[in-house]
Amino acid sequence: MYTQIRQRGCHIFQTSDMQHGISPLDHTFRATMTRIEKAMGTLIEIFQEYAGKEGDAKTMSKGELKTLLSNEFHLNLEDAKDKAASDKLFKDLDVNADGKVDFTEFVSFVAAVTVLLQGS
């Protein structure tokens, strides 16, 4: 079962890989994707879009995360109080404390927010 999930997961990642474009085969695969596969592909696309804005395209800087929070969560982080909150959130997300938010750290955050929303 995990092999099948992994095989489709590789297609989702390739289909969502904006840096290399989407081939006609990927469009065919995209049409077969289930809702949850599309949701996972969307998470990958969003992460890659923001992580790719500056520096290492596989991790998000504090500035990239701030832009993502502003654009995708409609958070305005312009005043000092909000800056402190976004700095704390970045520190909380950066579980391995390497000064960057990688995909695992990002997707853990999205999962936690989703659980909160589902329970409210």
Residues that bind Ca ion (CB under 5 A): 94, 96, 98, 100
d(CA 71, CA 66): 9
Q: Which is nearer to Ca ion, 66 or 100 (CB)?
A: 100
d(CA 55, CA 48): 12
As measured in angstroms, the least distance from the Cβ of 3 to Ca ion is 29
Tokens 């992460």 correspond to 47
d(CA 97, CA 99): 6
Q: Which is nearer to Ca ion, 16 or 90 (CB)?
A: 90
As measured in angstroms, the least distance from the Cβ of 105 to Ca ion is 5
Q: Which is nearer to Ca ion, 77 or 101 (CB)?
A: 101
